[in-house]
């Protein structure tokens, strides 16, 4: 019976995703072992190292449906690794002694690591798909709300006006960097392993590197320049990449949670009947997707730390650090997939309340653009003097509740340089958006290029 969130019948599709669970399932992983054994047989037959008849017989039995998984469990528990158990079953299925040519010159770690790389390849395709979907949704939001003013927040306090399109474009630019990172790491990460017992291919004599080359061609993987049995930095890099992606997903979930607050109401997760409702407070609409994203990405970060610890391996074949990877990598991918799925749906259906954004901009009576007033007065009064005057007036607004513009216009020192009519445009947040629009356009231009 499932005991983890990832496999729970109730929770699994909230915290993970079916396609990613499949990639890290016993059946998918074992089939990758078999794919490698079949590819090795074909490569070696082509090079004349094993008989073609043996190759054909081995390949005929490299299908997971022919593997007795219960028997494989028993042999794995006895031996400590699954590969020998798989090979033993292939050998037993083959006619005569033809199966004895299976796994020729290979070692357990060659098959295990290469299978892991093949799982990573399949998993990264799912990750890239979701990253692109989120990026496209953010691009649409950035375009739609390019000029929609809202308050930026600094230390959770209103800072200066920005646009919601700008806010979305900032996140979109981060996803562009993730897309670039993914494309850059693939050539490093999608490299197979075939080195034999200690990595030097001694079991195949002078043919080792040629077998390695042909094997990687069969599998569509890069050929390593040297064995990497105990230097798994490229695997750890994949984990770190997912940690970075999840950090951005967490940023999105954090901002949405804050914007959904009753006192703010600037944006909401997509509405579904009953979603986010409270058992005791009917009025509530809780940020459910954001809560799951937050939980998932926090655990991913901890697993990434453990994956980095697995790099500290001993000599040419390790005693334990390797197995950390077996535990952490599938969970990193499965939890990241859950966070990506929740974010994809959240961003695609995000409900934006532009009226509330404007309302919140106006609650300070124009003080949100006190910087604009200060900068407008700076040339006449000097920056520091302008700052001090505006600061004191802001305190008076807070204390008395009188309009910011009224107190500015009543100030005798300001009145020497600006009339009320000249001050009025300075306290309109819509007039102090800087170059938000231009920067949104730049990000959208990059989006068109990077996703073409």
Q: What is the end-to-end Cα distance of the chain in Å, rounded?
A: 45
Note whether 224 and 251 are within 8 A (CB): no
Interior CA angle at 9 toward 3 and 10, to 5°?
100
* 278 in catalytic set: yes
Cα–Cα dist 122/82, whole Å: 21
> Does residue 387 sit in helix, strand or coil?
helix
Buried residues in 110-144 as b, exposed as e (16+ CB within 10 A): bbbbbbbbbbbbbbbebbeebbbbbbbbbbbbbbe
Token pair in block for residue 117: 């790389």
149: which strand partners? 163
Please state, in angstroms and rounded to a whole number, the distance separating the CA atoms of residues 115 and 242: 19
CB 58 within 8 A of CB 101: yes
Please give the Cα distance from 300 to 16 (Å, whole number): 12
From 278, 359, 395, 442, active-site residue? 278
In angstroms, the CA 213 to CA 417 distance is 78
Q: Give the Å distances, CA to CA, from 416 to 237, 252, 448.
A: 62, 46, 50
Cα dist from 448 to 175, 436, 451, whole Å: 13, 19, 6
61, 103 Cβ separation under 8 angstroms: no
β-pair partners for 151: 161
From 317, 358, 385, 402, active-site residue:
317
* Nearest one of 379, 449, 392, 445 to 418, comparing CA atoms: 379
Angle between helix 321-348 and helix 233-259 axes, rounded to 10 deg: 30
Query: Is 277 considered catalytic here?
Result: no
Residues classed as catalytic: 278, 317
């Amino acid at each position: 019976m499932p005991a983890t969130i990832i496999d729970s019948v109730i929770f699994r599709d909230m915290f993970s995703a079916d396609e990613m669970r499949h990639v890290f399932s016993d059946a998918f992983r074992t089939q990758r072992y078999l794919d490698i054994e079949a590819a090795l047989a074909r490569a070696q037959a082509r090079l004349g190292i094993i008989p073609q008849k043996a190759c054909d017989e081995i390949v005929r039995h490299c299908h997971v449906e022919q593997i007795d998984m219960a028997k494989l469990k028993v042999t794995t528990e006895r031996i400590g690794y699954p590969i020998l158990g798989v090979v033993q079953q292939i050998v037993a299925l083959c006619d005569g002694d033809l199966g004895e040519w299976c796994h020729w010159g290979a070692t357990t770690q060659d098959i295990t690591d290469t299978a892991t790389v093949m799982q990573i390849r399949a998993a990264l395709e799912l990750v890239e798909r979701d990253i692109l979907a989120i990026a496209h949704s953010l691009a649409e939001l950035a375009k739609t709300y390019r000029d929609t003013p809202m308050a930026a927040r600094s230390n959770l306090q209103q800072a200066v006006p920005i646009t919601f399109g700008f806010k979305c474009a900032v996140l979109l630019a981060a996803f562009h960097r993730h897309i670039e990172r993914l494309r850059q790491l693939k050539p490093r990460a999608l490299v197979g392993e075939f080195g034999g017992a200690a990595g030097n291919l001694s079991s195949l004599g002078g043919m080792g590197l040629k077998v390695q080359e042909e094997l990687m061609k069969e599998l569509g993987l890069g050929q390593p320049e040297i064995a990497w049995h105990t230097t798994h930095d490229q695997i750890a890099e994949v984990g770190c990449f997912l940690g970075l992606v999840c950090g951005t997903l967490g940023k999105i979930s954090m901002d949405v949670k804050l914007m959904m607050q009753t006192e703010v109401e600037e944006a909401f997760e997509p509405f579904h009947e009953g979603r986010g409702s409270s058992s005791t407070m009917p009025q509530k609409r809780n940020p459910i997707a954001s809560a799951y994203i937050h939980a998932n990405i926090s655990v991913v970060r901890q697993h990434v730390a453990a994956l980095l610890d697995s790099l500290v391996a001993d000599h040419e074949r390790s005693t334990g650090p390797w197995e950390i990877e077996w535990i952490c990598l599938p969970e990193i991918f499965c939890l990241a997939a859950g966070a990506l799925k929740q974010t994809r749906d959240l961003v695609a259906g995000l409900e934006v309340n532009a009226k509330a954004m404007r309302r919140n901009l106006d609650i300070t009576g124009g003080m949100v653009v006190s910087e604009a007033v200060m900068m407008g007065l700076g040339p006449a009064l000097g920056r520091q003097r302008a700052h001090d005057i505006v600061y004191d007036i802001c305190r008076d607004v807070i204390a008395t509740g009188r309009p910011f513009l009224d107190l500015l216009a009543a100030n005798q020192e300001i009145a020497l340089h600006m009339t009320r009519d000249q001050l009025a445009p300075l306290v309109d947040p819509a007039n102090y958006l800087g170059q938000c629009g231009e920067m949104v356009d730049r990000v959208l231009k990059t989006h068109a290029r990077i996703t073409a």
